[in-house]
Amino acid sequence: MSATNLIDGRAIAEQLHSETSGRVEKLKLRGIIPKLVFVRVGEDPASRVYVGMKEKTSQRLGIDSITRVLPEATSQAELLELIGKLNSDSSVHGILVQAPLPRHIDSPTIYAAVSARKDVDGFHPLNVGKLMLGDTDGFLPCTPGGVHELLIRTGVPISGAEVVVLGRGNIVGKPMAAILIQKTKHANATVTVCHSGTRDIAKHCQRADILIAALGSPEFVKAEMVKEGAVVIDVGVNRVSDPAAKGGSRLVGDVDFKAVQPKCKWITPNPGGVGPMTIAVLMQNTVRAAELLN
């Protein structure tokens, strides 16, 4: 197959942005400006880049965004105090605590402290529970939500499909499985979740109509693991050494893209696939939070 089997995440993200922008304008007519607050602890280089990208997108869509940067040595109690203030600030509609947090801070405690109604990352236990129960009143985690939109808007048949999710993380793997297994439109799939304890992962992958790789292992998925005509979604972001690349390293996904692409009905490039959709769903969640809080 040729490059025509690429799923253009940037183009689909722009579709979502256009819809989100229209909703922002409707809120502004009511005197409401959606506001998103990013909380970043420390100076992790990747976190600085990710938050910067989210800020730029917020501004472009008319969403008010600010970033609160705290020192690496900030205590858990100090971070919880800030979150408490943001929870009680009626002008703030969405709160995103950027991962990773310093080791001395317990991430689950922090995510649970963010008001479920402002939890635009979808990590609060209440929103996680709603997702498992099929209650659409909560917020979807941004990356799995973005992958779901990619599948829907590309026209990939999901109902009855054999889906294999590589990775059981709380951010992508588990919620991805929960989204696709629901007895609803654009779901109703048969989902297998593979992980480090799975025997013969390749065998599971070979029967997948839809293969979603989110295990954080560079180019783990090889051509022989993918059946002809499968849809492959590469969520992974891994830095590998490459003396020929600028800075001596480059980013790759969890899929051996060049080898796998010819076998696929559809495949996401990396970059340009899942990444833009994560931000698009974050913006969507923020506007929805503003709508629900007003």
The set of catalytic residues is: 54, 98, 121
Three-state secondary structure of the chain = CCHHHECCHHHHHHHHHHHHHHHHHHHHHCCCCCEEEEEEECCCHHHHHHHHHHHHHHHHHCCEEEEEEECCCCCHHHHHHHHHHHHHCCCCCEEEECCCCCCCCCHHHHHHHCCCCCCCCCCCHHHHHHHHHCCCCCCCCHHHHHHHHHHHHHCCCCCCCEEEEECCCCCCHHHHHHHHHCCCCCCCCEEEEECCCCCCHHHHHCCCCEEEECCCCCCCECHHHCCCCEEEEECCCEEEECCCCHHHEEEECCECHHHHHHHEEEECCCCCCHHHHHHHHHHHHHHHHHHHHC
Within 10 angstroms of residue 106's Cβ, the number of other Cβ atoms is 11
Q: Which residue has the tokens 């996401």?
A: 268
**Distance from the Cα of residue 211 to its chain's centroid:** 16
State the Cα torsion 193-8-21-131 to the nearest 10°.
-10
